[in-house]
């Protein structure tokens, strides 16, 4: 059950945005104003819930570890989350994760790839960056690094799952499905929130299944 908590947190974050009427303007006048503004936040707002998923997964993985040193682990969890958020939100929303995918997709298109192929390659680059950062931060939080064939195989399977999730999260804009109704410039309505929550759940499901099979 604990392996499903990150996905549940991501879905609940969607409904929290709808309940609070969260928009880009909600952060004006705060220290986060500059981070949650601009092209990447307006073009890929569903990445916000991928950030929630990753942060929750770091905490869940660390909490699942038994044994001594739990007090020490609190410090490593805080550091791991800070590094993860830095990679996702610095210098602005999307961080190195979205920028790596956008650069890959742009260069692929300029070199003659179709728009669909560029989208898939860009999603793969973002998934690779996200998976790498998440894996390293999770290992830091849990103070444990696994090596071996099973660990490598699971890492590759998780990368493919996150690649699938990246494609799902950018699918609405690609296929003209106005599931966001202007979010984050406008708040999510409850009907849009239900659709977004379903997309987030579908995007997270493969990685949840893989993480649950880790034992």
| pLDDT score at 3 | 73
Domain limits of the chain? Answer: 2-212
pTM: 0.90
Q: Is the pLDDT of residue 161 over 80?
A: yes
Distances, alpha carbon 24 to alpha carbons 3, 34, 48, 110, in Å: 31, 10, 12, 31
Angle at 49 between CA 57 and CA 89, to 5 degrees: 90
Check residues 184 and 173 and name the one with the higher pLDDT: 184
| pLDDT score at 174 | 60
CB 203 within 8 A of CB 168: yes
Number of neighbours of residue 184 by Cβ within 10 angstroms: 21
Residues 67 and 42: their CA atoms lie apart, in Å, by 43
Residues 157 and 155: their CA atoms lie apart, in Å, by 5
For 71-117, write each residue's pLDDT tens digit. 667 888 999 999 999 999 999 999 999 999 999 999 999 998 998 89
For 125-154, write each residue's pLDDT tens digit. 999 999 999 999 998 887 766 666 777 788
Q: Is the pLDDT of residue 179 over 70?
A: no
Please choose, from the candidates 47, 124, 140, the residue with its C-alpha nearest in 3D space to the C-alpha of residue 92.
Answer: 47
Task: Return the sign of the alpha-carbon dihedral for residues 95, 75, 50, 38.
Answer: negative
| pLDDT score at 215 | 47
Number of neighbours of residue 41 by Cβ within 10 angstroms: 21
Please choose, from the candidates 58, 49, 64, the residue with its C-alpha nearest in 3D space to the C-alpha of residue 8.
Answer: 49
């Amino acid at each position: 059950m604990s392996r499903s908590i990150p996905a549940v947190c991501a879905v609940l974050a969607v409904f929290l945005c709808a309940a609070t009427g969260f928009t880009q303007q909600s952060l004006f006048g705060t220290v986060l104003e500059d981070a949650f503004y601009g092209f990447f936040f307006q073009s890929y707002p569903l990445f916000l819930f991928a950030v929630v998923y990753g942060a929750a997964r770091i905490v869940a993985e660390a909490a699942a570890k038994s044994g001594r040193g739990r007090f020490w682990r609190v410090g490593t969890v805080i550091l791991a989350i800070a590094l993860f958020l830095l990679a996702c939100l610095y210098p602005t929303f999307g961080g190195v994760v979205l920028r790596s995918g956008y650069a890959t997709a742009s260069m692929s298109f300029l070199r003659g790839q179709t728009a669909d192929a560029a989208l898939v390659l860009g999603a793969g680059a973002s998934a690779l960056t996200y998976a790498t950062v998440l894996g390293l931060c999770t290992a830091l939080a849990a103070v444990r690094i696994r090596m071996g064939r099973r660990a490598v195989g699971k890492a590759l399977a998780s990368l493919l799952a996150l690649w699938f999730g990246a494609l799902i999260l950018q699918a609405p804009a690609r296929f003209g499905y106005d599931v966001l109704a202007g979010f984050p410039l406008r708040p999510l309505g409850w009907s849009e929130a239900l659709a977004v929550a379903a997309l987030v759940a579908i995007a997270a499901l493969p990685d949840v299944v893989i993480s649950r099979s880790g034992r």
